[in-house]
Amino acid sequence: MSHKHSATLLICCPDRKGLVATIANFLLSYNANILHADQHQDADGGLFLMRVEWALDGFTLPIADFAAAFEPIARENRMEWKMALSENKPKIAIFVSKYEHCLIDLLHRWRIGELHCEIPLIISNHEDCRRIAEFNGIPFHVVPVTRHNKAELEQQQFALLEQHGVDLIILARYMQVLSEEFVQRYPNRVINIHHSFLPAFDGAKPYHRAHARGVKLIGATSHYVTEQLDEGPIIEQEVTRISHRDDVDDLIQKGRDLERMVLSRAVRWHLDNRILSYNNKTVIFD
Task: Using a pLDDT cut of 90, give the percent of the chain over it.
Answer: 96
DSSP string covering 100-112: -HHHHHHHHHHHT
d(CA 13, CA 41): 10
pLDDT of 192 reads: 98
d(CA 154, CA 148): 11
CA distances from 101 to 125, 212, 260, 263 (A): 16, 25, 7, 11
pLDDT of 1 reads: 46
Q: What is the mean pLDDT of residues 199-220?
A: 94
Alpha helices in 125-176 (DSSP H): 130-135, 150-163
pLDDT in tens, 53-73: 999 999 999 999 999 999 999
Cβ atoms of residues 145 and 154 within 8 Å: yes
Q: What is the mean pLDDT of residues 259-270?
A: 98
pLDDT in tens, 77-107: 999 999 999 999 999 999 999 999 999 999 9
Average pLDDT of the chain is: 96
Q: What is the CA radius of gyration of the chain?
A: 21
Question: Is it the case that residue 176 has pLDDT exceeding 90?
Answer: yes
The amino acid sitting at 53 is: E
Can you list the domains of the chain with their CATH numbers? 6-85 (3.30.70.260), 91-284 (3.40.50.170)
Q: What is the mean pLDDT of residues 113-128?
A: 97
Give the count of alpha carbons within 13 A of 244, CB side only.
Answer: 0
pLDDT in tens, 155-169: 999 999 999 999 999
d(CA 159, CA 38): 38
Q: What is the mean pLDDT of residues 233-245?
A: 96
pLDDT in tens, 1-22: 445 799 999 999 999 999 999 9
CA distances from 82 to 12, 93, 131, 225 (A): 10, 22, 38, 20
d(CA 202, CA 187): 21
Cβ atoms of residues 50 and 19 within 8 Å: yes
pLDDT in tens, 109-119: 999 999 999 99
What residues are labeled active site? 230
Cβ atoms of residues 166 and 90 within 8 Å: no
Q: What is the mean pLDDT of residues 193-214?
A: 94
pLDDT of 147 reads: 85
Q: What is the DSSP letter of 176?
A: S
The pairing of beta strand 168-171 with beta strand 190-194: parallel
d(CA 15, CA 27): 20
The pairing of beta strand 217-224 with beta strand 234-241: antiparallel
Question: Is it the case that residue 263 has pLDDT exceeding 90?
Answer: yes
Q: Across-strand partners of 50?
A: 11, 39
The closest of 85, 80, 159 to 123, measured between CA atoms, is 159
d(CA 225, CA 233): 8
